[in-house]
Amino acid sequence: MTDAVVVHDVVKRFGATKALAGVSFAIHPGELFGFIGPDGAGKTTLFRILTTLLVPDSGNAQVLGEDVVSNLWSLRKRVGYMPGRFSLYPDLSVEENLRFFASVFGTTIAAERNRIAPIYSQLEPFKTRRAGALSGGMKQKLALCCALVHRPEILFLDEPTTGVDAVSRREFWDLLGVLKAGGLTAVVSTPYMDEADRCDRIALIQRGGLLAIDTPETVARSFDHPLMAVRSDNRHDTLIALRAYPHAGTAYPFGASIHFTDRRAEVPAERQQTELRSFLESRGLTNVTVDMTTPTVEDTFMDRMGDPANQESAS
Amino acid sequence: MNSDRTIVAKELTRKFGDFVACDRITFDVGKGEVFGFLGANGAGKTTAIRMLTGLLAPSSGQATVAGFDVYSQSESIKRQIGYMSQRFSLYEDLTVSENIRLYGGIYDLTDRQIRDRTDAMLSRLGFRHAAHDLVRSIPLGWRQKLAFSVALLHDPKIVFLDEPTSGVDPITRRQFWEMIYDAASAGTTVFVTTHYMDEAEYCDRISIMVSGKIGAIGTPSELKRQFGTDSVDDLFVRLARPAANAPPESRPRP
């Protein structure tokens, strides 16, 4: 089966800034594929190239077998795009926005009813409301609906969950799951690392380059040092103590604990663990626990990106 | 008892027409505390923050911030607080040092104070080389760290941070939280909102607003025990779910 997206060595500069520094990857048909990375990583530039809105400086990209530069007109009919910034008409109602997007592509709401039903059913009670007056979560659902109304074969969603609360984010991912089950290929970007697990495969993106491409489990497992979760009665003091530990590798707050690595690769994990506990107790910390823990996608991301202060000082 | 309380709110309420955006909320925040103010979109957080920062008069109830009354002393409150948000923090068309000078001027610092504090701040952040760069040209993570430092320039008693780390890379996000801890251990109260539930765990105490009311308040570990959840994320979903399922259109917007 042909890949839904094939990108080869794409470079895009804006003045002195290299937004994309030669990225290559492929996305399979029917995949829910996530680009995970912070603001400024190059996600939006990449999405704009794949939706034919920007031309790469070099390299090439095919979506659904069509070149994004030479075949842009036929491709535009086949892709759906939900931009990161809310770009519907705030003064039109929910229904008017949807009708407009349908008519641009020569179709109607009624004809596309089945396709958009899972989402539109949630919007329909408010179809006369102005789009600008919707809550954040509802705006996202309307934008998704408008991106789907012309029956695209692939959907690009640029940061659909940014600035949205944790509950609405979960609901949005549930909706994407429904669309995926219907056979749609979806490419999503997000700065929230915990959303990686909702994707079939992910690419970690940072400063215009890809740090890893694989399933979320494989990306998380690729973290190759023993990882410890440290807790005590005082997190801040623990963090300061961990920084002062002579064998400290990395120490990052992680929810209720601090994720820590020991710099000494030659020392077995169990010994790293007991030595660390004794050290923290010797610093007067109470209720210290040091447990081995399973790395997450976010651990891998931080491990691969290194210290951003070092990377960015050159710019 | 109020001398060590930076915020004391009692039955604080704000209505917009028939709609009660903030419904008799009662809580306090101690000096040097990191207080996480959570809630779903539309739960009333912004209304509460606008009242506590002296920007919006309450409909009823009482509150003092840094010892000043939200009704009669809102101008004094504005001088005693720092504020930064994800959406707006610094002027992008000004340089780093121009931004600092502007804020220093707004808060009536002397030229000498501005010069000294600019110097100290940029050294601490390791940004000295970027003093004359336009804010627009510096990476987001740096910008947010800088904006936080600028919000602390006039030594406020309390700083309000509205989604300060949204979109920031995971390492810089954690460095930002270390700055929060540093400010708090120096005695500044930190009042912070976030959509990152792991960050909620970093707070001394959190509250979760649900449909205009405070649905839960306490330390993250107390609340997880109380509601029998493993993480603040699960706790948030448990509590905020009824609010999220109510049609947002039944809640008129201000």
Nearest CA in chain B to A298: B170
CATH superfamily label, B2-88+157-248: P-loop containing nucleotide triphosphate hydrolases (3.40.50.300)
Task: Please name every residue paired with A231 in a beta bridge, in sequence order, or none if there are none.
Answer: A289
| ∠ CA A159-A162-A164, rounded to 5° | 135
Cβ of A193 within 8 Å of Cβ of B170? The answer is yes
Residue corresponding to tokens 């996530």: A34
| Chain A nearest CA to B25, separation (Å) | 21
pLDDT value at B238 more than 80: yes
Instruction: Note whether ipTM > 0.90 here.
Output: no
Cβ of A253 within 8 Å of Cβ of B177? The answer is yes
**B78 CB-near residues (< 8 Å, 6+ apart):** B53, B54
Cβ of B248 within 8 Å of Cβ of A135? The answer is yes
Please count the CA atoms within 13 angstroms of the CA of B7 that sit on its side-chain side: 26
Strands B34-39 and B60-65: unpaired
Which one of A162, A236, A307 has the shortest CB-CB distance to B166? A162
Cβ of A206 within 8 Å of Cβ of B139? The answer is no
Nearest CA in chain B to A159: B167
Angstrom distance (rounded) from CA B102 to CA B85: 17
Strand order across the beta sheet in which A289-292 lies: A248-254, A257-262, A228-231, A289-292
Angstrom distance (rounded) from CA B100 to CA B85: 16
User: What are the CA-CA distances from residue A123 to residues A166, A188, A208, B159, B247 (Å)?
Assistant: 20, 22, 36, 38, 10
Q: In this predicted model, which residue has the larger pLDDT, B166 or B49? A: B49
Is residue A302 within 8 Å of residue A252, measured between CB atoms? Answer: yes
| ∠ CA A89-A91-A95, rounded to 5° | 70
Angstrom distance (rounded) from CA A184 to CA B158: 49
pLDDT value at B245 more than 80: no
Residue corresponding to tokens 């201000």: B254
Average pLDDT estimate for B240-254: 50
| Chain B nearest CA to A236, separation (Å) | 7
Q: What is the largest CA-CA distance in chain A?
A: 73
Using pLDDT thresholds of 50, 70 and 90, give the confidence band for residue A249: very high
In chain A, the percentage of residues whose pLDDT exceeds 90 is 81
pLDDT value at B8 more than 70: yes
Using pLDDT thresholds of 50, 70 and 90, give the confidence band for residue B139: confident
Cβ of B42 within 8 Å of Cβ of A135? The answer is yes
User: What are the CA-CA distances from residue A175 to residues A178, A192, A199 (Å)?
Assistant: 5, 17, 13
Cβ of A166 within 8 Å of Cβ of B236? The answer is yes
Range list of H helices, B21-95 = 45-52, 74-80
Which one of A137, A235, A305 has the shortest CB-CB distance to B41? A137
Angstrom distance (rounded) from CA A247 to CA A272: 9
Report the amino acid identity of residue B148: F
Which residue pairs, CB below 8 angstroms and at least 24 apart, start in B212-219? B212/B20, B212/B21, B212/B22, B212/B23, B212/B25, B212/B43, B212/B44, B213/B23, B213/B24, B213/B25, B213/B44, B214/B25, B214/B26, B214/B27, B215/B239, B215/B240, B217/B27
pLDDT tens profile B117-135: 999 999 999 999 999 999 9
pLDDT value at A17 more than 60: yes
Chain B partners of A193 at a C-beta cutoff of 8 Å?
170
Which one of B129, B240, B253 has the shortest CB-CB distance to A167? B240
Angstrom distance (rounded) from CA A111 to CA A116: 10
| Chain A nearest CA to B171, separation (Å) | 6
pLDDT value at residue B13: 98
Chain A partners of B201 at a C-beta cutoff of 8 Å?
255-256
pLDDT tens profile A97-108: 999 999 999 999
pLDDT value at A307 more than 70: no
A136-148 and A166-181 helices cross at what angle (nearest 10)?
20
pLDDT value at residue A156: 98
For the whole model, what pTM was predicted? Answer: 0.89
Nearest CA in chain A to B180: A236
| Domains (range + CATH), chain A | 5-221 (3.40.50.300), 228-294 (3.30.70)
pLDDT value at A63 more than 90: yes
- For chain A, how are helix, strand and coil distributed in percent, rounded to 5? 40, 25, 35
Using pLDDT thresholds of 50, 70 and 90, give the confidence band for residue A187: very high
